[in-house]
Amino acid sequence: MAAEEMKGRFVKGRYVVDEEDEPKAETSAKEDEQPTIEHLIKKTSENVDMTIESVVILGKKLFMSEEGRNHIEAKTREIGSELQKAVGEIAEAAQRFIQKK
- Which pLDDT score is estimated for 71? 95
Q: Are residues 53 and 72 in the same domain?
A: no
Per the structure, the complete domain to which residue 54 belongs is given by 35-64
- Which pLDDT score is estimated for 101? 78
List the alpha helices (DSSP H) in the chain. Answer: 24-32, 37-64, 66-100
- Which pLDDT score is estimated for 77? 97
Q: Are residues 70 and 99 in the same domain?
A: yes
How would you write the pLDDT of the chain (101 residues) with one tens digit per residue? Answer: 444 566 777 777 777 777 765 555 555 555 567 889 999 999 999 999 999 999 999 999 999 999 999 999 999 999 999 999 999 999 999 999 999 87
Is 15 inside a domain boundary? no
Query: How many independent structural domains does the chain possess?
Result: 2
Is 29 inside a domain boundary? no
The partner residues of 9 in beta bridges, in order of sequence, read 16
Question: Measured in Å, how far apart are the chain's first and last C-alpha atoms?
Answer: 64
Q: Are residues 100 and 72 in the same domain?
A: yes
- Which pLDDT score is estimated for 97? 93
